[in-house]
A and B are shown apart, each in its own frame.
Chain A
């Protein structure tokens, strides 16, 4: 791993004006993946309870 590619943290977030594109893509995608895990996990937990009650 080489050195940090930006001189300041602000440059890192702004990315020469490309930050809005880059960060929005990562944020939306990561949120989608995390929500998928959470929703599935919750449904699985509910289903296990339902199955155990039978």
Chain B
């Protein structure tokens, strides 16, 4: 019922954040205008990792307490993860051309994000390769839990290794290293991206439940 509101609010905040960032935030002293990709790249990268973390929590719930819905949520969140991780990699690659002079580098942050993208695809492929859906749910959950090791590697890769990728501009524990004139539109873009992806995730999960539970009476009677 609330889904359209979440979606429209997400798109509205994205529009505000992007117009603000693209047109009104000042030019970066070193990178010039190419830095404006940050208002898309950073939200995408944050949610690429957060979605996996959410899936890992769901996987534990499914494995420990046998919560069926948790497995459905993993299966529905993974396509959102594929889309947003692709956007993070794509925007980073394009940003790399004017900034680093290359669209790809086998650098720790970029490689670990590519592994995350492959993990999302692998999770979906694994699930669809079984006809026994309960078994598929269980194995998918195990794979998600195993793959969660990649998340701290992505997060810490810029600190552990000397990488081409710059360290995080905003962290939870420290003051942001970017000016407030760039930080505020970035925060609005992050909020907008979050709500948009939540709306997409809910929509995909609804489709998945309606498909998987198609023989149930309540699904057939659902308006």
Interface residues of A (CB under 8 A from B): 1-6, 12, 15-19, 21-22, 24-26, 28-29, 32-33, 36-37, 40-41, 43-44, 47-48, 50-52, 54
Contact = CB atoms under 8 A, between A and B. Distances in A.
B100 interface: no
Q: Is the interface of B mostly helix, strand, loop or mixed?
A: helix
A25 B94 CA distance: 7
A28 B77 CA distance: 21
B98 interface: yes
Nearest to A26: B40
Which 8 interchain pairs have the tightest Cβ spacing?
A15-B33, A18-B34, A18-B33, A44-B207, A29-B87, A25-B91, A47-B210, A40-B203
A54 B33 contact: no
Contacts of B129: none
A50 to B, nearest CB: 7
Interface stretch (B24-32, B138-146, B153-161): B24-32
Contacts of B44: 29
Given A24-B94, A28-B90, A37-B200, A1 B20 contact: yes
A48 B94 contact: no
Given A16-B32, A41-B203, A52-B220, 8 more contacts: A1-B20, A18-B34, A33-B200, A36-B80, A47-B207, A47-B210, A47-B211, A51-B220
A37 B203 contact: yes
Interface residues of B, number: 43
A11 B79 CA distance: 37
A29 B33 contact: no
Given A16-B32, A29-B87, A21 B200 contact: no
Contact of B25 (A5, A15, A41): A5
A19 B33 contact: yes
Given A4-B23, A6-B23, A15-B36, A51 B94 contact: no
Contacts of A3: 24
